[in-house]
């Protein structure tokens, strides 16, 4: 939902009450924005939407990604939006970090196996086999 703060996405989303939907989402998802007045946040979002609609009518190029939006956002006029876009910029988009974790785990296991003595490795394999046999018999 925060991706709708990016102007290119915001213009394509043609909801009439889009600011109230975004406000509700922000209040539900991010408890530290509970202190922000609903009317203040709603009016800031409306001003944000109008700013980018006017820019589109003038033929200006709209920011298409989060980092361009962060650069284009004035923190003095839109302090809450600037905070939300900063949060959006720091969120993980892909599963690459999880895949890197599995890769690291695989390397660690390989390293541990190479350091483990043959006697211990055989013992662990027999223990695992015994455990599986014991579970099947019960």
Kindly report the pTM of this predicted structure.
Answer: 0.60
Question: Domain ranges in the chain?
Answer: 2-90, 100-137
Each residue's pLDDT expressed in tens, for the chain with a length of 138 residues: 777 788 888 877 766 667 778 888 888 888 877 888 888 888 888 899 899 989 989 999 998 888 899 999 998 999 988 988 888 888 766 655 555 566 666 665 676 666 666 677 677 777 777 777 777 776
The DSSP secondary-structure symbol of 62 reads: P
User: Residue 100's CB: how many other CB atoms inside 10 A?
Assistant: 10
Nearest alpha carbon to residue 88 among 68, 103, 104: 68
Nearest to 84 by CA among 33, 132, 135: 33
Residue 11 and residue 56 in contact, taking contact as beta carbons nearer than 8 Å: yes
């Amino acid at each position: 939902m925060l991706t709708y703060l990016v102007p290119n996405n915001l213009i394509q989303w043609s909801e009439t009450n889009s600011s109230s939907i975004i406000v509700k989402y922000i209040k539900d998802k991010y408890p530290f924005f509970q202190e922000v007045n609903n009317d203040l946040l709603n009016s800031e979002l409306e001003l944000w939407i109008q700013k980018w609609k006017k820019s589109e009518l003038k033929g200006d190029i709209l920011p298409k990604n989060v980092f361009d939006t962060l650069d284009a956002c004035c923190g003095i006029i839109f302090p809450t939006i600037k905070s939300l876009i900063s949060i959006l910029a720091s969120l993980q988009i892909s599963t690459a970090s999880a895949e890197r974790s599995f890769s690291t785990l695989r390397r660690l296991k390989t390293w541990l196996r190479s350091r483990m003595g043959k006697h211990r490795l055989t013992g662990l394999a027999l223990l695992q086999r015994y455990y599986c046999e014991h579970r099947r018999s019960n």
